[in-house]
A and B are shown apart, each in its own frame.
Chain A
Amino acid sequence: MTDKATITLTINGKDYAIAVEPRRTLADAIREDCGQTGTHIGCEHGVCGACTVIVDDAPVRSCLMFAVQAEGKNIRTVEGLANGDTLHPMQQAFMDNHGLQCGFCTPGFLMLAVGVLEREPNISDEDLIDVLSSNLCRCTGYQNIIKSVRAAAQEMRK
């Protein structure tokens, strides 16, 4: 087996000192070593987007990144979205527009949409659908997800 490296991951502003093998994915490190199980794993090969987190302001697929690569970077996960009991506008919009059913894909969609809208608040509708088509959802048929993100985009622009 490979030797472990000691690294510090900064997740939602909190530092986690962990020891990981170099081959350990960021997704596994976030979930298992740092206990933040809101980030989900649906495919482990970069297609479904369930594992999407925001690393230094960009949405990334945490199953395609090694934990050691994320050292020193600022990682945001679904657990950090709400402000206490107040949901982030994106979370609220998903609730209001029935943008989730089983909720498994939801953290990935939330982080994807938040990451993109923070960088590009005036993103065109076409580009928005392009971005959202990079994550898979098996339950909702997407229309309510698109509706939710549109509603949140308006709210976030305020």
Chain B
Amino acid sequence: MAESKQKKFIGRSVPRLEDRPLLTGRGRFAADVNFPGQWAMRVVRSPIAHGRLNGIDASVALAMPGVHAVWTFADVAHIPPIPFRLTGLKALEPYQQRVLASDTVRYVGEPVAVVFADNAYLAEDAAEIVELDIEPLAPVMNATDAPGPFDTMQSTEPDIIRKGYGDVDAAFKAADFVVTLELSVGRHSGVPLETRGAIGYYNEALDRLEMHGAAKVPHWNRDTMGRMLGRSRDNFQLFEGHVGGGFGIRGEIYPEDVIVCAAALHFRKPIKWIEDRREHLISANHSRQQTHRVRAAIDAEGRILAIDNEFFHDNGAYMRTHAATVPDLAAAMLPGPYRIPAYRATAHLRLTNKTPCGTYRAPGRYESTFVRERLLDAIAANVGIDKVEVRKRNLLSKSAMPYTLGLETLGTHIVYDSGDYGLLLDKALERAGWPKLQKDMAKRRANGEMVGAGVAMFVEKSGLGPFDDVRVEVKNDGNIELITGAASVGQGIETAMAQICAETLGVDYTSVNVIHGQTDRIGRGLGAFASRVTVMTGEATKRASTRLRTHVLKLAAELMQADAGELDIVDGEIVHIGGVPGPSMKLADLAKARPGELIAEDTFESTHMVYPYGVHVAAVRVDAETGGITIEKYVMAYDVGKAVNPMLVEGQIAGGLAQGIGGALFEEFLYDESGEPLSVTFADYLMPTAHEVPESSILITEDAPSPLNSLGLKGAGEGGTTPVGAVLASAIDDALQRPGAILTLPVTPQRLRAICKK
């Protein structure tokens, strides 16, 4: 059979389909959605971290012209608490959040009432004069304090997660050395540039309740909020527009989402809520904050015999949709790319009077990679070998793949599907010019400069199942409509899906119109999280497109009086294979001839995740006077199995790096001892700017395609972020020539100056 002349799109850095509306101001973000006659909603939030809510007086606010209503707990008492989406544990259920506080408040920023008014300015004026009678109680601010009562009945420690395998105690007995560290990661989060927003709209004619401004997991949120509000799939729909950055935190069900829907239904008025930045910083999910007490048993050569890790996860005041996801992932993914014969993790879930937590890009891996890689550096220092050598001695070999770790997370067994960790380490070190870098640094140090280099390795995970559906159709104009239950958070999924569909089907990728995030267009879908879309939706797209191609060729064969096996689709035109002369037919004409028939649907199911892996290398200069850190060199190597669009993959990795640097050096939600948040504006929550993010070198490899899907895909969304804290800590240690100096992230200038003075 002759070669198909179809164009290749998979693996090419084609420009994004998403860009034009975003570049011309025609994006449609949540705040851009308006309905005639809408009311604005403003949330009245607790100014006190822990207290008894004795009363709310809204009479003055209610008397203001243009103010329509003020809701308190009594108005929403019939709405159950917000349930878990992932990793729900029975013991955590009493800690779920109600949409408005009832009799106690547990963090500054907790919604206690909502005001509905003609416009946002008025609503804000009114919210300011709603009077709260709150009797303060002592706040719990440290997750490492001994567990005690949280409020009247509950404990500050609702549960402990234990994971492990092998005989840890025996390994510690047999060890030549034991290395012990206490490490902590600060509280920071996604902080997308677009704040949250939700617009509830009740369409009376259709008896349909709608929520606009959905993101991430629209189908799950529709079903769940539907249950909370007594609506069914047929009369409640969610709509996603443009989304100004997700990073894990956006699109989980928050109290405000539920209230706008309930209010739209109750008042029969469109209800619009747009969060301001202060609200975002105190009320959207925080993440990361953990303290680890970790020990490694090693032999005389620095080989790991066992790791025992006990850690404390500060989850803030309530268990939100993710429940135990972050500590669970931290516990399960701590072993990373190394052979660890025995392992034990004990994760204490702790409640404090701070903003509740959820996931943030590389959840549990940013933290556990910091811990594991600090441990590897400490082992190297302990036995007197260098940091590359200690990693080589402990790495899992290529022949060990697929590797069953013996741990579970997110409901699946961890089985590293494929990988050649040693090869990637070599490639990364080569790209970084490691031997020369070492020499240069040593010379500069001899001249009094504080410079140093670090290396960190990690295993990521992606492609969480269990399924994804895709429907593709050739429309009458010859364009392709691809409908998926995935969601977009700005990562370029429309383009990536269009590329897979276009190449498979035989059309140009610009003719593929990808529709996502609309619950009324496809029955089920799992949305966008955990770097799952390219893998799950990508494979489903490939399957649906293959099915459509077969179907199209069969229909065309009848009309063209040819054998389907002799036909090909090239650039949207059905032709004879290999350019054999003969009649041809445009897809559009076939679609017109067989209206509504050029359609196919398929599903991809998977019970296992896939495991991309990476290596970061960094070189830094420390200024002991200011405590400032300059990143002089940054190399990221990441094996993604197969890059559908390398430009987008690089974009993800570069963007991830900036967020990793934020968490490593700048970003932290701080509180005073009364529980008052201190990071409430962008002037005190410091995110990296173009100054702080260095030019980086990105090496994408495809050495270990995943055997679990036909394209070999592994997700690429998180590997730019995962090891950044670890590698910068390693490089700073080296610059200071003090192994183990960095035990806490972020390494803010204040912290670093204090370390330098010691």
Residue from the list B244, B490, B491, B691 in contact with A129, Cβ < 8 A: B691
Do B244 and A104 have beta carbons less than 8 Å apart?
Answer: yes
Is the CB–CB distance between B690 and A145 below 8 Å? yes
Known: A44-B276, A102-B192, A103-B242. A110 touches B651 (CB 8 A): no
Chain A residues contacting B35 (CB-CB under 8 Å) are none
C-beta contact mask, B679-718 vs A, less than 8 Å → 1, else 0?
0011100010111010110000000000000000000000
CB-based contact B683/A143 at 8 Å: no
Q: Is the interface of A mostly helix, strand, loop or mixed?
A: loop
Any B CB within 8 A of the CB of A18: no
- Judging by beta carbons under 8 Å apart, are A78 and B24 in contact? yes
Q: How many residues of B contact A (CB 8 A)?
A: 60
Given A42-B193, A104-B245, residue A142 in contact with residue B24 (CB < 8 A): no
Residues of A within 8 A of B492 (CB): 101
How many A residues have CB within 8 A of the partner chain?
Answer: 55
Distance, CA A152 to CA B22, complexed state (A): 17
**Given contacts A1-B65, A42-B194, A106-B23, is CB(A139)–CB(B31) below 8 Å?**
no
Query: When the two chains form their complex, are residues A41 and B31 in contact, meaning their CB atoms are under 8 A apart?
Result: yes
Q: Could you say which of B19, B25, B276, B682 contacts A47, with CB atoms under 8 Å apart? A: B682
Measured between alpha carbons, how far is A87 from B691 in the docked complex, in Å? Answer: 28
Q: Does A141 contact B (CB under 8 A)?
A: yes
**Is A38 in contact with B693, judged by CB distance below 8 angstroms?**
no
| Contact, CB under 8 Å: A87 / B65 | no
A101's closest neighbor in chain B, by CB? Answer: B490
B659 adjacent to chain A (CB < 8 Å): yes
From B23, B32, B656, give the contact of A103 (CB < 8 A).
Answer: B23
Q: Let me know if B18 and A47 touch, CB within 8 A.
A: no
Tell me, yes or no, whether A57 is within 8 Å of chain B by CB.
Answer: no
Query: Which residues of chain B are near A133, meaning CB under 8 Å?
Result: 689-691
Cα separation A120 to B42 with both chains bound (whole Å):
43
B458 within 8 A of A: no
Residues of B within 8 A of A146 (CB): 690
Interface residues in A76-120 by Cβ distance below 8 A to B read 77-79, 81-82, 87, 91, 94-96, 98, 100-107, 110
A128-156: which residues lie under 8 A (CB-CB) from chain B? Answer: 129-130, 132-146
Contact (Cβ within 8 A) B277 A42: yes
Hey, what's the 0/1 contact readout for B47-89 against A, CB within 8 Å counting as 1? Answer: 0000000000000000001100000000000000000000000
Asked if B643 is an interface residue, CB under 8 A from chain A, the answer is no
B655 interface residue (CB < 8 Å to A): yes
Contact partners of A134 in chain B: CB under 8 A: 689
* Interface assignment of B745: CB less than 8 Å from any CB of chain A: no
B191 on interface, CB distance cutoff 8 Å:
yes
- Interface of B toward A, CB cutoff 8 Å: 15-16, 18-20, 22-29, 31-32, 65-66, 121-122, 125, 190-195, 242-247, 276-277, 489-492, 647-648, 650-652, 654-659, 681-683, 687, 689-691, 693, 695-696, 720
Between A and B, 9 residue pairs with Cβ closer than 8 Å are A37-B27, A40-B31, A41-B31, A44-B276, A87-B20, A98-B647, A98-B651, A138-B191, A138-B192
